[in-house]
Amino acid sequence: MIPLAEAQAFVLDQCSALPVASVPLRAARRLVTTEAVAAAEQIPPFDNTAVDGFAVRAEDLASASAESPADLEVVGTIAAGAAPTVPVGPGQAIRIMTGAPLPDGADAVAMVEWTSTEGDRVHIDRSVGVGDAVRHAGEDLQPGDLVFEAGVELSPGHLGVLASIGRYEVNVVRRPKIGVFSTGDELIEGPQALKLGQIRDSNRHTLIALVERDGFEAVDLGMIRDDEVAIEDAICRGVAGCDALLTSGGVSMGDFDYVKAVLGRIGDMRWMQVAIKPAKPLAFGLVDGIPVFGLPGNPVSSMVSYELFGRPGIRKMAGHVRLHRPRLLGISDQKWGRHPDGKIHFVRCKIDLDNGVYRVSSAGGQGSHQLTAMAGADALAVLGDGEGAEEGDPLEFFTLS
């Protein structure tokens, strides 16, 4: 067996960032920038109101109160998107809607909730200070300001900022396209009754969902029977059209592990027994320069292997800097029994935040075939080699979302 860190380092060393692409904003969410972005104009572009109300001169409301409201002449209305046509003079106000430009002469806005109107007069029952409810031009960004640096994963907020400064395309690392297929004569697809020895293919659906959850593009290459010609054809089709491949099954030590045989013949592969539980067997290497992740066939093992190896490797290809999930520290809510075996155990668990402290408890059955517990887990707890953990012990974990 080899240490987890060694296996992860080997995988990451073979994964390189994909080429740069210029993409429209609608296609850029979760992609990573390859350029620093600067503002070309000020944001907001003009002084505007943050509320519905009346644009006023603060000095005209200096003594306004509920008992003695200020009485001002209403000389106009400014809707959002409209330009002011008249200024605000002494003793005057202009009705104004949120986002509308502040008219000349006004230096504050009184909220509509503080007002009552009669004809062309408005009564305002409290004072305001200069600048109240005003969003000033350039308050957020000035021309030349750095909006964000290269290497930023674009969130919805980032996309909004780009739109606000008139950038409708952005240079990013291209979104990885990941081919996924399952192998095994025992696999079937569909709701028909199972025959003895058959199981429904869950791994392919799970891995496709994981790939898409993490912001990558999944390509469904289907179920492949245990036949070397069919497996080789699937792999060759995959590497021709994808940036990486995820396979599940056929990489262990059995006589019918045809994926291992094919990859050994056409790829530059390394077959690893990693010192972890679950997900000990891992095949990884390159076929025609394309990374191929041979994940184990047991459903939970396949998911854990993706989290520990597939996801970090693909994130590197996508230009991310933080490749692994951050490790957090919680308190065990129970005893976690295990025996020394030279492996790190990754245990399916639930996390509850209690007065600022994470409480960690089991999500259910821990067998590598027990997918229901994995579906119900919030995180994987990390049990180092040894006797496990007692209730109340500190326990390291990482979340799965």
CB proximity list for 315: less than 8 A, separation 6 or greater: 214, 322, 323
Domain with CATH 3.90.105.10 in the chain: 29-39+139-173
Q: Which fold has domain 29-39+139-173?
A: Molybdopterin biosynthesis moea protein, domain 2 (3.90.105)
Distance CA 125, CA 68 (A): 7
Q: Which CATH number fits domain 48-135: 1.10.760.10, 3.40.50.300, 2.170.190.11, 3.30.390.10?
A: 2.170.190.11
Q: Say which CATH architecture domain 328-399 belongs to.
A: Beta Barrel (2.40)
Distance, in Å, from the CA atom of 235 to the CA atom of 5, rounded to the nearest integer, reads 27
**Fold exhibited by the domain 4-18+176-317:** Molybdenum Cofactor Biosythetic Enzyme; Chain A (3.40.980)
Token duo for residue 126? 């409290």
Give backbone dihedrals phi and psi of 96, rounded to 5 degrees, phi first.
Answer: -145, 145
One digit per residue, the tens of pLDDT, for the chain of length 401 reads 999 999 999 999 999 999 999 999 999 999 999 999 999 999 999 999 999 999 999 999 999 999 999 999 999 999 999 999 999 999 999 999 999 999 999 999 999 999 999 999 999 999 999 999 999 999 999 999 999 999 999 999 999 999 999 999 999 999 999 999 998 888 888 889 999 999 888 999 999 999 999 999 999 999 998 889 999 999 999 999 999 999 988 766 554 578 888 998 999 999 999 999 999 999 999 999 999 999 998 899 999 999 999 999 999 999 999 999 999 999 999 999 999 999 999 999 999 999 999 999 999 988 888 888 999 999 999 999 999 999 999 999 999 98
Residue 30 contacts residue 152 (beta carbons within 8 Å)? no
pTM value > 0.75: yes
Domain with CATH 2.170.190.11 in the chain: 48-135
**What's the rounded Cα separation, in Å, for the pair 61 and 217?**
59
Q: Write phi, then psi, for 338 (nearest 5 degrees).
A: -160, 170
Residues forming CATH 3.40.980.10 domain(s) in the chain: 4-18+176-317
Of 173, 96, 102, nearest to 131 (Cα)? 102
Under 8 Å between Cβ of 276 and 308: yes
What's CA 343's distance to the chain center, in Å? 30
Closest CA to 246 of 191, 187, 290: 290
> Given this model, what pLDDT does residue 326 score?
97
